[in-house]
Amino acid sequence: MEESGTNRLEIFSDGVFAIAATLLVLEFAVNTRAGAPSLGYQLLHQLWPSYLAYATSFLTIGIIWINHHHVMETIVRVDRTFLFINTLLLLVVAFIPFPTRLVAHYLGISGELDAVYAYGVTLLLMAVLFNVLWAYASRNRRLISEDMPEAQVRAVTLAAGIGVSLTALILLLATWTPVGAVIFAFAVSAFYLPGAARFDRS
Amino acid sequence: MEGSGTSRLEAFSDGVFAIAATLLVLAFTATASDDLGSQLLHLWPAYLAYATSFLTIGIIWINHHFCVEKMARADRTLMFLNLLLLMTVGFLPFPTRLVAESIQKHAGERPAVLAYAATFVLMAVIYNAWWRYASRGRRLIREEVPDSAVRAISRAFDPGVPMYGVTFVVAFWSPIVSVMLTFAIAAFYLPSAALFDRVTE
């Protein structure tokens, strides 16, 4: 199996994370046709699903980027299988702007359940692929740097596993309240920020 | 002819690969309607085109990575060929969207998929030229890279143009089968690429 450094993988992945996060803004749209509600009303009253969806997706991409960064710090090399799983993960990350737009447009009106399902499935897929990526890298410390303590490897495994359960909860919640599910997704991302910082210290 | 390291070539290429792959998501459009669920299911051509293009860009990127690793330097001709390659990669989101939209609307599938397949053929031709230029007489290859490794990569490049040529021809007969074939090529190239890696050891 070939070995290679991780530099280009990081540049490519960072590019996808950054661009996906930046494309999220394209979901914001105001109605400029004659007879449309005033701009102020639209911005303050009608666009709240867009703000919620934007903040949730942006924070989620940011956190997966931080965690990706952390994973790359613990490994010393990459092989082709790792690159392939990483490509699948990025495929899902780059897809996020689409379900985000669906949530922004459909929350509060008919079709919101399908929109939130699409959003939740995407986030779940991302969490699962992140786990697969980490499981591949950490199985028998395959790609892990020698000076990385075992406790820290286990901490990442635990945090990644929790991510999958929390994301699955978003889907379950959606059947009961789609709006609540998106707010929960936002809370998960807000929770994961300090959480990530904490497992760093361990 | 000047020679120089490959790091800026790699950084620039990575940027284009990443942006092109990320822009593919713009192929998805849902129109305002009551039944979002069935609309999302009817988007399957968009999912197929998105996955096909994303995986293909990912594979080109992975192979680019391993090829450039074998090079000691880049010269102006290689940079020019590299630019042509990136031009076709950066173009890919457009035919991807055409494929997604035309199959959904059952209108203009053939020209859309022909444009898609033609982009892949062009990409494969330029990618081949890029590698042949670098490897001919070991022009840009590092001294410590064994001949067998260079030959193994060249062998892996061989099927690219004929395979995408087949998808182009198939598009005349069945546009959807052509896109599925393109997806299959991406899926096929992954393990095969891993295989030719092992041959080099």
Domain count, chain B: 1
Q: Mark yes or no for CB contact A4/B65 under 8 Å.
A: yes
Phi, psi dihedral angles at B52 (to 5 degrees): -60, -50
Minimum-distance CB partner of A102 among B30, B58, B201: B30
pLDDT digits (tens, 9 = 90+) for B13-32: 998 999 999 999 988 887 76
Sign of the dihedral defined by the CA atoms of residues B132, B138, B139, B140, in that order: positive
Q: Which ipTM was obtained for this model?
A: 0.75
Domain range enclosing B140: 7-199
Which positions in chain A touch B62 (Cβ < 8 Å)? 80, 83-84, 87
The answer, for A5 touching chain B at a CB cutoff of 8 Å, is no
The stretch B115-128 carries a mean pLDDT of 96
Nearest residue of B to residue A92 by CA position?
B51
CA nearest neighbour of B74 among B7, B141, B4? B4
Minimum-distance CB partner of B54 among A9, A19, A91: A91
Q: Mark yes or no for CB contact B66/A2 under 8 Å.
A: yes
- pLDDT, mean over chain A: 88
pLDDT digits (tens, 9 = 90+) for A170-199: 999 999 999 999 999 999 888 776 665 555
SS3 A36: coil
Q: Which of B157-183 are b and which e, b meaning 16 or more Cβ less than 10 Å from the residue's Cβ?
A: beebbebbebbbebbeeebeebbebbb
Has residue A141 been placed in a domain?
Answer: yes
Has residue B1 been placed in a domain?
Answer: no
The pTM of the full predicted model, rounded to 2 decimals, is 0.83
Has residue A1 been placed in a domain?
Answer: no
CA nearest neighbour of A137 among A71, A63, A84? A71
Sign of the dihedral defined by the CA atoms of residues B47, B52, B54, B55, in that order: positive
Q: Mark yes or no for CB contact A97/B40 under 8 Å.
A: no
Has residue A47 been placed in a domain?
Answer: yes
Has residue A2 been placed in a domain?
Answer: no
Cβ-Cβ contacts under 8 Å between A and B: the total is: 100
The answer, for A25 touching chain B at a CB cutoff of 8 Å, is no
Domain range enclosing A166: 7-201
CB A131 within 8 A of CB A160: yes
Has residue B30 been placed in a domain?
Answer: yes
Domain count, chain A: 1
